[in-house]
Amino acid sequence: MTATPATPATPATSISTFAWKERLKAAGIHLSLSLLVATLAAAIVFGVWYPYPYREIAGGRELFFLLVTVDVILGPLITFAVFNRKKPWTELRRDLAIVGLLQLSALGYGMWTVFVARPVHSVFEIDRFRVIHAIDVPEVLLSQTPANIDALPLTGPTLLGMRPFRDNNESMEATMLALRGLALGARPDFWQPYAQSRADVLRVAKPLATLKARPALAPIVDTAMQKLGRSNTDGLVYLPLVARKTFWTMVLDAQTADVVAYLPIDPY
């Protein structure tokens, strides 16, 4: 009697390979969606809240990429770990929904962190400009913001000036608070439209030529002049731009005090 040949069993390795491919495909789709969402978030952060040069001055770029990179990588990795076609559809859908919810929550937290730390103003402060972040402005003073100034703008930093002190007592009090960490430029009760400070800005600004006279800084100034289409520094002045962890230089028109350029130079 002739024996019937046994049906070859499907190799376990084939099933395993198929499962891996399914997981990789699911993780790839998740990664593509995550990158799309991250791109949209980056457009908001760097196009609105942290325009150049604040993405570098205010540290928004590093903070955003740290948060988003972790979020974009972890989401697809978790999907890769939990995706399994053998699971009932309701269970698989639940797992993926939880992963997506956790990822969106993390992204939302990251965006909120970047939002509350966003720069809102560059304030002329006696002899310099200071970058003011939303979190720097005391809530108790927001009600004293002048009516023609948006205290915490949503569409990027604005230029502001600082009104003169009313008397010596106010000057002394403000100085003492500044020594304790409350910068003069962070006080809404001192703000005024930049137009009212242009004369004071030009009075203390220094000729840009004095920066170019420093051998180490001359190449940076020359590069900026080329981008501006200028052959020299005539008609340009500068003031320091103070941020939390760095100093830049703000280049201004010597007649109007309009901002012409930003240089990654510590002018001190």
pLDDT in tens, 24-70: 888 888 888 888 988 888 899 888 999 989 988 887 677 777 777 77
Looking up tokens 């969402």 gives: 37
Q: What is the per-residue pLDDT for 237?
A: 96
Q: Is the confidence at residue 8, as pLDDT, over 60?
A: no
Q: Is the confidence at residue 256, as pLDDT, over 90?
A: yes
Say if residues 206 and 238 touch (Cβ distance below 8 Å): yes
Q: What is the per-residue pLDDT for 137?
A: 94
Report the pLDDT averaged over residues 251-257: 96
pLDDT in tens, 124-171: 999 999 999 999 999 999 999 999 999 999 998 999 999 999 999 989
The band of 4, judged by pLDDT with boundaries at 50, 70 and 90, is low
Measured CA to CA, the distance from residue 53 to residue 251 in angstroms comes to 13
Alpha helices, H only, the chain: 12-44, 54-57, 60-82, 89-116, 168-179, 198-204, 209-212, 218-228
Looking up tokens 């891996």 gives: 20
The band of 119, judged by pLDDT with boundaries at 50, 70 and 90, is very high
pLDDT in tens, 172-186: 998 898 888 889 999
How many Cα atoms occupy the beta-carbon half-sphere of 162 within 13 Å?
23
Measured CA to CA, the distance from residue 29 to residue 14 in angstroms comes to 23
Q: What is the per-residue pLDDT for 6?
A: 52
Q: What is the per-residue pLDDT for 5?
A: 54
Length of the chain: 268
Measured in whole angstroms, the distance separating CA 254 from the mean position of its chain's CA atoms is 30
Q: What is the per-residue pLDDT for 194?
A: 96
158 φ/ψ angles, rounded to the nearest 5 degrees? -120, 165
